[in-house]
Every structure is written in structure tokens, then in C-alpha cells.
Structure 1
């Protein structure tokens, strides 16, 4: 769930497409391809949410459940993005703001759930974690590649790309947690990965909210002028 909106946070982003005032994505991308890509992403994420939430509970894995809730949040986010495609920039930015707030809420849930697993001393099933994590990584890797071309659009498009990229990173982290649980015979690798995913979720949601607010403010200033 690592998030980097611009290539370097030390440099201003207003010289490239990271800037909120960038050229509207409708002039750079085929709307039909964007719409189709969102539908594919929504179906993949919805399916893996159901898969991972069931597998996470059965395996007693906090990191799988963290990844499942991330899938759920992204499914809702893609549905919102489909709704706002083609409408005014201000509304797309507000949708991105809602998506960022959703990411923050889910990240807080993940952190609370992880604390409970740490306190109860749950030992997850490493084999289930590894299998589901590998399948999810393949699915999310494909979705992230499909959405790569939209990474430099408006806040709404950027947030969709960020969600897909972060999911693939989260799946890789689940695989590492599974290896750690298998190698150590304890649940701490699972707990550590879940905590990291929760923390990065907070960071990612905050960045999406920040850019969406900047875009909304910029659009309002242009309308007033």
C-alpha cells in the first residue's frame, strides 16, 4: 500500500502530470478503454475480496484479512470511479476525496484487527496464506499493468492506479509473511506485515485526500475567475 504520487516528493510536481491543474484525462486517454479497465478491475477486486476474507478468517491471518479489506475498499472505489467518469473535474476530485477517506477508515480497521491478533497470539496457516497471496498477486499485477497508462491523469485516475499498484505490493507482503510464519513457527511475521499494510494505507489515503483537495480548490478558483 505504498504511495508515491510524484516521482520525488522533494521536487515540485507542477511541471508534470502530477499537478492538479494537469490537462484533463479525457484529452489524453480513450474513455472507452478507461471504462472497460475499471470494470475489469472492479470484478477482479470484488472476487478476491470474497476469497481473501474467507481464507483470512479460516487461516487466522491478519495480513490476509488486511489485504481482503483493501480489496473491498478498492471495489467500492472502482464503482465510484465508474460513476464519475466523464463528469466535471470538481466531482471527480470529490470522488477521489471519498476514496481517500475510505482508505483511511479501512487502514484504521486493519490496525485494530491486527492488535487483536497480536494480543490473542493467533498462529496463521502459512500454506493458505501463501496460496491465496500468490493468486492475488497474479491478479493484481495484471490489473496494475492494465491501469498503468492512466497513472498520470486527474486525482480520480491517479487514485485508481495507486490502489492497484498498492494491492500488488500488499500481496507480495502477504507472501513474505507466509514465508516468515512457516520459517519461524510464530504469528509475528503476519502481525508485522499487517501493521505495515495498515500504516501504509493511512499514508496512501492521506496523499489521495491531499491531492483531491488541491484539485477541488484549483477548480473552484478557475470557476470563480
Structure 2
């Protein structure tokens, strides 16, 4: 769990005004927006639920990074409220992906493993780089922590997408792709609960 929200506001505010923090957020925003375009096109072309789910995750993360940039330097209460919005988007993403995976199971799908592997590798490289840049900021307030959790979950999700590609290639079935999409949904729900809990604590302490 993150550090206590009783930490003093001065260093916390300084962290959010740190130009290094803002620079990393801008890099993360641009990288995630670009990968959203790449993955949504590839996911539709490859009929891959896990790639499409990961693409939407990239889109949500880009929006979340934009929110973090918008509230950087504001009072802790405003940053906590922004974190609540981000927790809600992570929750919505998780619920949507679960529903989409169920739809794929019922309607049937035929994912293309080669495209999944290539695009999944590119996405993993992007998220590992972003996660390494954000690692030093992982123990801040709920807003900073939500950024780290998004990045961490993305990297884990990309490893899972590569596993799905191997599974689809080895079995010739769609179930590994649908299984990974469901795992990614679970990560989003877990991350949402973490961020929501810390943000509520910070709001209750003023």
C-alpha cells in the first residue's frame, strides 16, 4: 500500500511541481496515445480481444496522464479528486473488457497470433520504458500512485498478451486471447480499488 496520507503537503506539492515529473508525464502521454492508435488498428485487423483491450487501456492511460498534468501543483484535495476520476475510468475499463471477452466467447473469434506477438512486443517495450521512468514517483499521493499503477498494470498486461499470442499459435483456439483479456480486466479492477482507497483516505484527512 502507499505511504500514509499524513505526510506533509510541502514535499508532496514540490514533487508535483517537479519539472522531471511533468516531463515524464508528457512522454508517457505521447507514447500511450501513439500506442492506442497502433493497437486498436492491429487489434481489429487481427480480431484480437486482448489487443483491443490493451489499446483501450492505452487510451485511458493517456487521458489519465493528461488529468495528472492538469492537476499537478494543485492542492492535495484536488489531486485526490482527480485520482477518484481515474479510479472510476479504470473500473469502467475492467467491466467493459469482461463484457467484451464474454461476447467474444459467445459470438466466436479468430485471433491472428503473429500480429498479436509483434504488436504486443512493441507495446511491452513502450510500457517498460514508461514504467522505469515513473518508478521513482511510485510512492507519492493517490494521483501519483495511480499513474504508477496504470504503468505497472500495462507492462504486466503486455506480457500476458504475448502469452496469449503463443497460446493462440500453439492451440489454434481463441480462448487464450479471451483469457488474457479477462486477466487485464482483473488488473484494472484491482488497480481501481487501490487508487480509490488511497484517494478517499486523502480526502478524509483534508
- TM-score band, normalised by the shorter chain? over 0.9
Q: Aligned-pair RMSD on alpha carbons?
A: 1.2
Separation in 1 of the partners of 2:84 and 2:172?
41
Give the number of aligned pairs: 204
> Within 5 A, what are the aligned runs for 1:24-173?
24=9, 25-27=12-14, 31-173=18-160
Residue 22 of structure 1, CA deviation: 2.4
Q: In the TM superposition, what whole-angstrom CA distance separates every residue of 1:97-138 from its partner, at most 9, and x where no partner exists?
A: 000000001111111111111112212000000000000000
Q: How far, CA to CA, are the matches of 1:23 and 1:179 in structure 2?
A: 48
Q: What is the rounded CA distance, in whole Å, between the counterparts of 1:47 and 1:188 in structure 2? A: 28
1:21 CA displacement: 1.9
Q: TM-score, normalised by structure 1?
A: 0.88
In the TM superposition, what is the alpha-carbon distance from 1:27 to its structure 2 partner?
A: 4.1
Conserved 8 A contact 1:22-1:154: no
Q: Distance in 2 between matches of 1:30 and 1:87?
A: 9
Q: 2:17–2:72: 8 Å Cα contact kept in structure 1?
A: no
By how many angstroms is 1:29 displaced? Answer: 7.0
User: Displacement of 1:203 after TM fit?
Assistant: 1.6
The runs of 5 or more residues in structure 2 that have no matched partner are none
CA contact (8 A) 1:22 1:153 kept: no
**Inter-partner Cα distance in structure 2 for 1:148 and 1:203:** 19
Counterparts of 1:76 and 1:145, CA distance in 2: 20
Deviates more, 1:114-123 or 1:157-166: 114-123
- How much does 1:180 deviate? 0.3
Distance 2:110 2:90 in 1: 27
Q: In structure 1, list runs of 5 or more residues that go unmatched.
A: 1-5, 7-16, 220-225
State how far apart, in whole Å, the 2-side matches of 1:22 and 1:133 are: 39
How far the C-alpha of 1:198 sits from its partner, in A, is: 0.8
2:7 is equivalent to residue 22 of structure 1: yes
CA contact (8 A) 2:39 2:55 kept: yes
Higher helix share: 2
**Mapped contact 1:59–1:128 kept (Cα < 8 A):** yes
TM-score, with normalisation over the residues of structure 2? 0.95
